[in-house]
Structure 1
Amino acid sequence: MSEAMTVRSHSVHRSPALTASVIVLIAILLTIARLEERLPASLWWHAVIAPSPTDLRQLLVHFSDMPRIGVIWLCGAALGLAGVSTQQVLRNPLAEPMTLGVFSGAYLALSVATVYAPVWLAFGRDAVALGGAALALSFVFALAARRGLSPFALILAGMIVNLCCSAFSFALAIAHFDLLSGLMIWGGGVLTQHDWHVAQALLLRLAPCTAILILFLRPMAAFDAGDAVASSLGVSLRTTRGAVLALTLLITAFVVSAVGVLGFIGLGAPMLARLSGARRLRDRMLWSPVLGASLLWLADQMTQHVSSFTGVLVPAGAVMTLLGAPMLLILMKRLRGRPDLSPSPIQSSTPKRARLVPMFIVMMLVLALAIAGSLTLGRGLDGWHAARPSEIVALMFLRGPHVVAAISTGIVLALAGGLLQRMTGNPMASPDLLGITSGGAVGLIGALFLNAHPGLPVLLLWCAAGSVATLAALLLFARKSDYAPDTLVLGGIAISAAFQAISTIVVASDDPRVIVLYNLLAGSTYNVSATAAGMVAVVALAALALVPFARRWLDILPLGAVTSRSLGVDLSVARLSLLVASAVMTAAATLVIGPLSFVGLMAPHMARMLGLQRAQSMLFMSAGIGALLMVASDWIGRWILFPQEMPAGVVATVLGGSYLILVMLKRN
């Protein structure tokens, strides 16, 4: 298949068995080292087969260590199998079940049950998590069904559901941090076991799903030739894709409900299998589970050694991501190609001709009304009221920077997302895919935990350092590929995953400063000063002025590399220039209000839904939509839960995601 990810040929023979053997050997050595700390080698066999009821050490090995290894192999193999199956039917090496809403739905269901309906937990945490995952999956399928369950529609629907569920979970975590701190640790993947119950339950659930999935091996193999050829061979694309995705997501839901989220395995194990020489689907279906289980075993042993040394419970899923992300970056240099994210014919109907002038006038009027409402309408002890002109002037020193910061960050993030989507030809691209927002978040973590009393200048400095360092690393990594879109997207995802793992480990530490970190990362304009608002406003004006000069690149680049070169575009210069511009915009917004990147994904989508396809008009409309989203989100976040404040980033995610869900449900 021309669009799928392929592997360059090398003279050196590669074997998945060799790769798995090396990983398993290291894991065995670490396991032996840990067992030696617990009891003498002469008692190992007795501890595994028939432990002495009076020896606590043997009981721990038999009822904790051995079931833990069993759960690890079951979960790792299941996620590896689910990942390779999802990537095959979606013809997209970046796809995995977690990206389609399973984890976020399970996590939100558990959060809601913990805060508002603890009685639900009486039926078991597994049942609640599985119900939330199933509900999220139902939304994904409902959104994508009108477009024939095409790869693009499924991934877009999964990302929308993920964003909405994550926003609600974030809001609950901020409002009820004391009740949800334990759930945050579970969210990072906890493999601790006390008996064989979880392992037995997982085996009984996963075995039938796996057996049925294997029956689809032959129709799944036809997807390698593309949708058109597969259809001509008699394969029902919609039925096969829907059945396989339902099975893989059910497998993932079972794993998530039992042990929490275990990142990277569904993405990394199939990629490692392919890079190790597993070219055919049946080979990848065999070795992806083996490699997934091996990688998880190694990560878990590393987790236990780190926890023993530091005394802090470290989530295994976070360590798995930290272990896999650098490996993904190293192995990525041997990959070429790109995900198949192009819309299917079902989606690609030409929109009606947009009436540009009236449309932009309406947008400006709506934005002006939103700004006026943000400055005049408020809430106090006596309820809602409209401020008089004298009150507006008196409070301008406080509300003015908020509004300017909201408008400016909405503009720069929308433009950054639009530039990335046009440059890569990938409608799923957004500023967070570069990893710059995640780098800024890690900088904020360093500022909070490495400084006694970090003020705003210190936070800004550390955030800038993290953003710049991430950009430099990404540019260095993508230089040899002429900053190719697939390399940038994959590299950004790997970097973002590693930084997210660091955030998960910090959250699991249960440090009281974590709640401060949550508020900083949520995208709030509460602490924005006039100086910071003025800085991001200057960046926003410069970004708007840049659009007309880059419109030719942005109109041509989505046509592909060959067409772009034939039209005289220097791909290296164009991609590097646009990449740096989008990175600067994203970093400026991150320095002011935290790593808010949702607007960069949704604003360009909304502009295209209005019928705007040309680069310049689409980007200007995206900027207006981004500003409107942020102004409305800032106002709602300040007053809807008064006297508490909800971060604007969370509100923007809920508003934009809800809008996209409604549009996808209504459009054919």
Structure 2
Amino acid sequence: MPSDFLPDALGRRGRSSGAQPRNLLWVVCVIGALAAFVLTTYVIHTQLAGASLWGVLVAPEPGNLHQLIVYDSTLPRVAMTLICGAALALAGAVSQQVLRNPLAEPMTLGIFPGAYLALTVAALWAPAWLAAYREPVALVGGGLAMLVVFALAWRQRLASLAVILSGMIVSLYCGSLSLALAISHFQLLSGLMIWGGGALDQQGWHASAALLIRLVVAAAAVLLLRRPLGLFDAGESTARGLGVSLMRTRFAALCIAVALTACVVSAVGVIGFVGLAAPTLARLAGARRFHQRLVWAPILGALLLWVTDEVVQVVALSGVVGSQLIPTGAVTSLLGAPILLWLLRQLKSRPDLRADAPTAIASSRRERPLRLIGALALLTVFASVASLTFGRGLDGWHFVDFAQIRALSFWHGPHLAAALVAGTMLGLAGTLIQRMAGNPIASPDLIGVSSGGALGIVVAVFAFAAPGPLQLFLACLAGAVGTLGVLLWFGRRAMYAPERLLLIGVAIGALFQAVNGTVMASGDPRAALLLNFVVGSTYYVQPPAVAAAVVIALAGLVGAPLLARWLELLSLGDGTSRSLGVRVSVARLIVLLLAALLTATSTLLIGPLSFVGLMAPHLARTLGFCRARGQLLTSAIIGALLMVLADWTGRMVMFPNEMPAGLMAALIGGPYLLWAIVRAPSPVR
């Protein structure tokens, strides 16, 4: 990967004329500090209600409630905000430096989701530990998640792309486990959901003082590593030639990032995007060298979180949202997603995903593909029949007779059809996207199309009093198409490069998570219903929606094979495709439109949380289906089979309660994806 993975976009014109790029660090910091100071002054003035600010700073009166609130809550909150922003920015700067990738930050490396999952488990089964040892619990969770990422990327010698992709999958899986626990223990975890959204409320100075000490210790450790870390700017080969142990340096640096992130999570919850945006802003504003970013990234991170938190408090004081809580972490992601998308346009040099992406692709082609396709289709039919006839009841496991099947057909029929159709569409969409991008780790889950569709449904649920199936479908399609528009707009400059699509997917996925976290923390009664949809429950699927999905799935089965030639050539790269007469931009546009339509429809049925779109093409290629038509058909059948199994398992595993099919597919598919990365061949050196 080129050492300068983010250009100096702000000074591009000056560079072309021979002048040095402008340094805007002081300007950005002064503007941010003034904005935060003005907002803080307004908040404190409102809270004091005429009381003396000087008295608060010198000696607050014991009986003056307004002064006590400012002294014990507002001012410690400002301090905590600055410390958390600086800590996350430092963790992000170190991660991006050693991995040489702008995607690297605590969220994408699995640290945040791992720490939050550990806290969720402790809240349910060891509440005493959570009360007494919150920070060690978060540290263990984040550390274990990072160790899993290290283990997955170890055979690739902790290559930056391998670490990033492993972290993304670990993040998705930990998030799926947390949602599974939230569904089964919604009332017990409601408080943790509010806190997990990034709650900066303080009751005294002890928490901020303790976190400041940890930040100073971590900063001292980074200072000791500044020389080997700085050599990464010259490229990995140069750093290795100068005697730097890449694996040891990466391991030590990422351990520091884990420790910092776990401390922040245990103190205030999950706050995303600061670790991603602050180092990038520092580089774009003029911090070219690593030692400069070590200083300016924490400053910008502290200012970014300070401004965001003050905006949250001003909105809360205005009464626009009533008495509902607004988690600062969710708002940070809401503001950070557009920032990331803007920064994306400044991205000049990029990692080559085609060459380094871990794969589990069979090297030999299937000699008799029709026989295996027929066997898979029969297996899907058998699984469908078994899901209707065998299961658990009040008397334990048993087979259901024909009369019972007929009596419950009005309920089981749409559910089974939804699982079959959704799996078929996800298998097709995953193959289309992987072929188009030439990257076997691309899928609707990772490029944000499914998250965009789910975001559209969230808007519809709160915009309409009682949205019907047609309204939900149109909202989901609008969200997916809107995401597609963003993909096309930002990806056109780089000819829809796969890494550009992944970056956009991270931004849109984080935006959806922020909206979802805000809803969960608001206390709105529709939050529980929305949670069931988000995780992919077929319980609420209506026959009209299934009928529309069947039509779209059949259209996909007919239309996708017609694009087989394009798919074969697009996976070979832009130059080869053009030389063989393919209009790359037109071909990718049509493929993305079809994939978006299939993804939006499947999202309406089972929600956005499903690894089927990533697993089915992998399994098809592992079985030897390397040609586009064979892989499309096989992926569709495998996707249908996986979703039927996930739907049946979800109904049986927690009987009489139901685990949503989409979530079960993620829980089942996660271990396979981890295994696929582990067995990927190590690079030749």
TM-score, length of structure 1 as denominator length: 0.92
Q: Give runs of aligned pairs for residues 239-250 of structure 1, distance below 5 A.
A: 239-250=248-259
SS in structure 2 of the partner of residue 97 of structure 1: coil
SS in structure 2 of the partner of residue 336 of structure 1: coil
Equivalent in the alignment of 2:172: 163
Equivalent in the alignment of 1:213: 222
Equivalent in the alignment of 1:71: 80
* Cα separation, 2, equivalents of 1:377 and 1:566: 55
* Cα separation, 2, equivalents of 1:177 and 1:49: 45
Structure 2 counterpart of 1:261, from 259, 267, 270: 270
SS in structure 2 of the partner of residue 146 of structure 1: helix
Q: Give runs of aligned pairs for residues 463-482 of structure 1, distance below 5 A.
A: 463-478=476-491
1:52 aligns with 2:65: no
Moved more, 423-432 or 261-270: 423-432
Q: Give runs of aligned pairs for residues 217-236 of structure 1, distance below 5 A.
A: 217-236=226-245
Residues 343-387 of structure 1, C-alpha deviation per residue, up to 9 Å, x if partnerless? 659x67985424353654553343333223212212222221123
SS in structure 1 of the partner of residue 391 of structure 2: strand
Give 1:112's aligned amino acid. V
- Matched-pair contact (CA < 8 Å) for 2:97–2:229: yes
Equivalent in the alignment of 1:529: 542
* Cα separation, 2, equivalents of 1:405 and 1:538: 12
Identity %, equivalent residues? 51
* Cα separation, 2, equivalents of 1:454 and 1:542: 26
Residues 472-497 of structure 1, C-alpha deviation per residue, up to 9 Å, x if partnerless? 45545555665454444433432332
Equivalent in the alignment of 1:638: 651
Deviation, 1:184, is 0.7
Moved more, 327-336 or 180-189: 327-336
* Cα separation, 2, equivalents of 1:113 and 1:659: 26
- Matched-pair contact (CA < 8 Å) for 1:419–1:582: yes
Deviation, 1:447, is 3.3
Structure 2 counterpart of 1:315, from 305, 327, 331: 327
* Cα separation, 1, equivalents of 2:285 and 2:363: 48
- Matched-pair contact (CA < 8 Å) for 1:589–1:596: no
SS in structure 2 of the partner of residue 645 of structure 1: coil
Q: 1:156 to 1:373 in 2, by over 3 A?
A: farther
Equivalent in the alignment of 1:437: 450
Moved more, 81-90 or 300-309: 81-90
Equivalent in the alignment of 1:2: 2
Equivalent in the alignment of 2:345: 333
Equivalent in the alignment of 1:657: 670
Equivalent in the alignment of 2:158: 149
Deviation, 1:563, is 4.0
* Cα separation, 1, equivalents of 2:429 and 2:66: 56
1:388 aligns with 2:391: no
- Matched-pair contact (CA < 8 Å) for 2:360–2:618: no
1:592 aligns with 2:601: no
- Matched-pair contact (CA < 8 Å) for 2:7–2:346: no
* Cα separation, 1, equivalents of 2:502 and 2:361: 27
Q: Give runs of aligned pairs for residues 289-300 of structure 1, distance below 5 A.
A: 289-300=298-309
- Matched-pair contact (CA < 8 Å) for 2:552–2:598: yes
Deviation, 1:188, is 0.9
* Cα separation, 1, equivalents of 2:262 and 2:528: 28
Equivalent in the alignment of 1:355: 366
* Cα separation, 2, equivalents of 1:45 and 1:61: 11
- Matched-pair contact (CA < 8 Å) for 1:431–1:597: no
Give 2:380's aligned amino acid. L
Deviation, 1:112, is 1.9
Equivalent in the alignment of 1:274: 283
- Matched-pair contact (CA < 8 Å) for 1:110–1:128: yes
Equivalent in the alignment of 1:29: 38
* Cα separation, 2, equivalents of 1:613 and 1:536: 28
Equivalent in the alignment of 1:182: 191
Q: 1:282 to 1:544 in 2, by over 3 A?
A: farther
SS in structure 2 of the partner of residue 525 of structure 1: coil
Deviation, 1:260, is 0.7
Equivalent in the alignment of 1:305: 314
* Cα separation, 1, equivalents of 2:510 and 2:336: 9
Q: 1:333 to 1:666 in 2, by over 3 A?
A: closer
- Matched-pair contact (CA < 8 Å) for 2:434–2:442: yes
Deviation, 1:395, is 4.1
Equivalent in the alignment of 1:556: 569
Residues 216-251 of structure 1, C-alpha deviation per residue, up to 9 Å, x if partnerless? 233233333443333233222221222211211221
SS in structure 1 of the partner of residue 167 of structure 2: helix
Structure 2 counterpart of 1:573, from 573, 586, 605: 586
Equivalent in the alignment of 2:17: none
Aligned residues: 667
1:511 aligns with 2:524: yes
Deviation, 1:426, is 4.2
Residues 89-142 of structure 1, C-alpha deviation per residue, up to 9 Å, x if partnerless? 222211212222222222222222222232322423223222222222222222
SS in structure 2 of the partner of residue 378 of structure 1: strand
* Cα separation, 2, equivalents of 1:94 and 1:534: 40
* Cα separation, 2, equivalents of 1:612 and 1:242: 38
Moved more, 472-481 or 331-340: 472-481
**Structure 2 segments unaligned to the other structure (5+ residues):** 15-20
- Matched-pair contact (CA < 8 Å) for 2:476–2:601: no
Residues 74-103 of structure 1, C-alpha deviation per residue, up to 9 Å, x if partnerless? 111111111122122222211212222222
Q: 1:351 to 1:132 in 2, by over 3 A?
A: same
Give 1:330's aligned amino acid. W
Equivalent in the alignment of 1:375: 388
Give 2:13's aligned amino acid. H
SS in structure 2 of the partner of residue 384 of structure 1: strand
SS in structure 1 of the partner of residue 156 of structure 2: coil
TM-score, length of structure 2 as denominator length: 0.90
* Cα separation, 1, equivalents of 2:533 and 2:514: 17
Moved more, 79-88 or 14-23: 14-23
Deviation, 1:616, is 4.1
Q: 1:461 to 1:21 in 2, by over 3 A?
A: same
Moved more, 299-308 or 379-388: 379-388
Q: 1:618 to 1:237 in 2, by over 3 A?
A: farther
1:61 aligns with 2:61: no
